[in-house]
Amino acid sequence: MLILPYYHWRLVTIQPYVKRHAGETLCIMLITASSGGSTTLLAPMLREQGKDPLAIGALVGVPAVMALLIRVPGGLLYSRERMRILLVGALSLSALAYVLYPLTPNPGLLVLIGAVYGTGFSISTTVNLASTVDSIGPHEHRGKVMAMYAAGMSFGYAIGGFSSGSAGDAFGYRRAFVLMALICLLGMVPAVAPIEFPAADEAPRPRSSAFRRAQNLGVVLMDPVVTFMVLGAFFLNVFLTQFNTFMPLTLLPLGLTLAEVGFLRGLWSLTNAFGRPFAGAVLSLMDNRRTQNLTLALQAGLLMLFALTLPFALYLPIIVTAAFCRAVCYVANTVVLAEIDPAKVSRGVASGILNAASDLGNIAGPVTGGMIAQAAGLQRFWLIAPPLYLCIYFGLQLSMRKRATSVQAASAAV
């Protein structure tokens, strides 16, 4: 009963920001609705075409590879003047890919379509996030604006999961993908809406050379806090994409329908949206590092339960708990973005760094997951992959800590 008063309080606290940032939030919601719906449909469609888990993982990973290559260039293209034309063009590319996906079983053409989709998704999400951060006024609470944006993102994925599974069962893959394209094109409406940006600094930052910008980017990436953010974003998306790709492949042969699989995807995203406001309460008890480590470990343990053959109803609490852990971990991980000094790295490039780490996770999750599933089978996959990646994550954390200690010791000696 305490949940409703809590959400009423949260609504009151973010109400002053709704009007100013509604356009960016609605835009990301429509982008993620179409993207989440397409990922729900893609792996089952490829399975019906007769492709094995290794091929499915590789094809699902193609958009992430392209998105990774485009992230930082897309961030460098960002400006307040070019923002709208970039969003319209990127959304058009994504919508085109959605329409083309179910038209061919040819792997080569599917790779090209995935590259088109990855380009559109990368530019649209990078530019929209950069414009959101750029539009935060000097007296606005960054955390509340970013929480509203993150909630819109999760609601979008929930809408995509619920709608795509039902549409796929009712109308087939081709019409369901067309529906995702239409949802994506609707994102152009808020994309072209006017945004109220704060006044620019009186003394603009001088342009630097490409070499100098690369140096600055390298310095930022070597910062322990940013490295921690990158590791968290990477492994968060490794777990997410393995769930998105291999959960349908595991549960559909057990007798679940595409609508039920879509419901589970939608429930995951809906829990993310409602769970993120509670992240502040968790972070008041633990710092970012402990929160991220604990919630990643809990996600790994819960994903292992998909190795069990369970009734549909028993998957629901697993989904809700794992998604809540992801919601808290996501907030703990992304707060760093708003703290990066724009005098050192532009908002567009900072957004590109965070999204590039996520894209690497989007690649590693389905591609290496496909290798494990091909070798060990889908049931054993869940017993191998999550703990393996968790060990790698903590191993890198330990290595990063030792490196930071050695650098501090060397600095003290000088």
Q: Judge contact between 75 and 199, C-beta under 8 A.
A: no
pLDDT at residue number 2: 46
**Digit-coded pLDDT (tens) for 326-346:** 988 888 887 766 666 666 666
Could you give the percent of the chain with pLDDT greater than 70? 79
Q: Band the pLDDT of 65: cuts 50, 70, 90.
A: confident
Q: Judge contact between 363 and 122, C-beta under 8 A.
A: no
Q: Give the Cα separation of 256 and 172 in Å (integer).
A: 16
Residue range 1-17: average pLDDT? 49
Query: Is the pLDDT reported for residue 413 higher than 70?
Result: no
pLDDT at residue number 302: 96
- DSSP-assigned letter for residue 316: H
Q: Give the Cα separation of 35 and 181 in Å (integer).
A: 9
**Digit-coded pLDDT (tens) for 170-211:** 899 999 999 999 999 998 888 777 666 665 544 444 455 544
How many other C-beta atoms are found inside a 10 Å radius of the C-beta of residue 41? 27
Note the pTM of the prediction, 2 decimals: 0.75
The position carrying tokens 């708003």 is 338
Query: Which CATH topology does 20-196+212-402 take?
Result: Growth Hormone; Chain: A; (1.20.1250)
For the chain, the maximum distance between any two Cα atoms, rounded to a whole number of angstroms, is 70
pLDDT at residue number 359: 79
Q: Give the Cα separation of 100 and 83 in Å (integer).
A: 26
Q: Judge contact between 295 and 329, C-beta under 8 A.
A: yes
Query: Is the pLDDT reported for residue 350 higher than 80?
Result: no
pLDDT at residue number 372: 94
Average pLDDT of the chain is 81
Compute the Cα dihedral for 256, 257, 261, 266 and give only its sign: negative
Distance of CA 46 to the CA centre of its chain: 22
pLDDT at residue number 151: 77
